[in-house]
Amino acid sequence: MNNRFFIEVDCARQNKHGQGAPGDVFLSQRDPDEGRIVCVLADGLGSGIKANVLATLTATMALKYVRSDMDICKAAGVIMSTLPVCSRRKIGYSTFTIADIHPDGRIRMMEYDNPPAVLLEGPTVLPLEKKSMEIQTAHLGPRPLFYSNFRAGQETRLVLFSDGLSQAGMGRPKTPLGWTAEKAVLFLREQIRRLPNISARQLCRAAVTEALRQDCLEAQDDISCAVIYFRRPRRLLVVTGPPIDSRKDPLLAARVAEFDGRKVICGGTTANLIARELGRTVQVDLSFLDPEIPPVSMLEGVDLVTEGTLTMSKTAQLLEQNQEPDLSRPNAAVRLMNILLESDQIEFVVGTKINEAHQDPNLPVELDIRRNLIRRIVWLLNEKYMKQASIEFV
């Protein structure tokens, strides 16, 4: 696990207007042992299902080839020759950008026909030296592929986007040539200047929303933007459940008080015991009521206090369904999801004391065993959202 910086990866996407399936595909995978991350953005020929098949095949193959350290030019040739051929256009084609990221910030990047990737240090664009190589394709003859090798430092962002973003608004009176890659980069720089710590998640969403605005809210092509952000890790401590041995209560409270980062407590009993140990009080905030999820509480020095099982079950469900927290009702589960996604290194401290109140067979099945629930959330955060989450039972 790399502690010097954390690499946050996120991608925002908008389907072409009227299409149910995306023609751009972004895949990323973190190797849990090495910490190496491989990301691929592929844009398939055309739009809809056909483009989706081409892009998915390209991205999946590229990911596998790069992870197995196969020669990239050879791999690109194989991908191009393997893709199914469009019956109308008589070619099988998909663009791609592959970033092979080492946990210390070294990056190998291969770009084929996508708009050039941009490396930003804060709001400044860093020049990238790209070497042109030739790959053989079955239908289009030899084509150029750009290879670059560089190192990203603290507070740098690598931004990949599809031509749907740079060409958004094309043909409209104000933007006859589209938004253009230059203006898109200016937009990204402005966002970073305004919010220097903007997360990868927020930045890629902002860029896609702006591109969609250029397209007058009807995307002319699939729009994708992926951001890979190298930054100081944002730490989060989530405490849930009282320790099995009540003599450990003061230790748990001290850990909460001394933690360097944001803190969340899930569970009324846990919140009460920490408040008692720290000589503070818990106050329930009734300003927002939700029919499903109990309200949040306030405790001095803690960023979020929620109820336990119901809230965490709902958060797990939201994480599974890839829900957008900014667009959901701001109940406790959504706020918990938001704070989890806005963190990088997440430590769950799980008390294993059995809650007698939940042993009644008449209660709904949502009252899952806490340990299983947390395991599910941690798995989702690590596998699906590329976080570094860990569990400790007390």
For the bound state, the minimum distance from the C-beta of residue 313 to another protein, rounded and expressed in Å, comes to: 10
For the bound state, the minimum distance from the C-beta of residue 250 to another protein, rounded and expressed in Å, comes to: 19
Looking at beta carbons only, is 165 or 310 nearer to another protein? 310
For the bound state, the minimum distance from the C-beta of residue 269 to another protein, rounded and expressed in Å, comes to: 5
For the bound state, the minimum distance from the C-beta of residue 364 to another protein, rounded and expressed in Å, comes to: 6
For the bound state, the minimum distance from the C-beta of residue 98 to another protein, rounded and expressed in Å, comes to: 46
Contact residues toward another protein (CB under 8 A) are: 268-269, 271-272, 282, 284-286, 289-292, 294-295, 297, 305, 307-310, 355-358, 360, 363-364, 366-367
For the bound state, the minimum distance from the C-beta of residue 391 to another protein, rounded and expressed in Å, comes to: 21
Looking at beta carbons only, is 276 or 376 nearer to another protein? 276
Looking at beta carbons only, is 286 or 327 nearer to another protein? 286
Looking at beta carbons only, is 250 or 294 nearer to another protein? 294
For the bound state, the minimum distance from the C-beta of residue 360 to another protein, rounded and expressed in Å, comes to: 8
Looking at beta carbons only, is 36 or 353 nearer to another protein? 353
Q: Which two tokens stand for residue 225?
A: 């933007």
Looking at beta carbons only, is 140 or 289 nearer to another protein? 289
Amino acid symbol at 75? A
For the bound state, the minimum distance from the C-beta of residue 280 to another protein, rounded and expressed in Å, comes to: 13
For the bound state, the minimum distance from the C-beta of residue 286 to another protein, rounded and expressed in Å, comes to: 5
Looking at beta carbons only, is 59 or 312 nearer to another protein? 312
Q: What are the beta bridge partners of residue 345?
A: 235, 388
141: which residues sit within 8 A by CB, 6+ positions away?
Answer: none
Looking at beta carbons only, is 279 or 291 nearer to another protein? 291
3-state secondary structure the chain: CCCCCEEEEEEEEECCCCCCCCCEEEEEEECCCCCCEEEEEEEECCCHHHHHHHHHHHHHHHHHHHHCCCCHHHHHHHHHHHCCCCCCCCCCCEEEEEEEECCCCEEEEEEECCCCCEEEECCEEECCCCEEEEEEECCCEEEEEEEEEEECCCCEEEEEECHHHHCCCCCECCECCCCCHHHHHHHHHHHHHHCCCCCHHHHHHHHHHHHHHHCCCCCCCCEEEEEEEEECCCEEEEEECCCCCHHHHHHHHHHHHHCCCEEEEECHHHHHHHHHHHCCCCEECCCCCCCCCCCCEECCCCCEEECCHHHHHHHHHHHHCCCCHHHCCCCHHHHHHHHHHCCCEEEEEECCCCCHHHCCCCCCCCCCCHHHHHHHHHHHHHHCCCCEEEEEEC
Looking at beta carbons only, is 207 or 271 nearer to another protein? 271
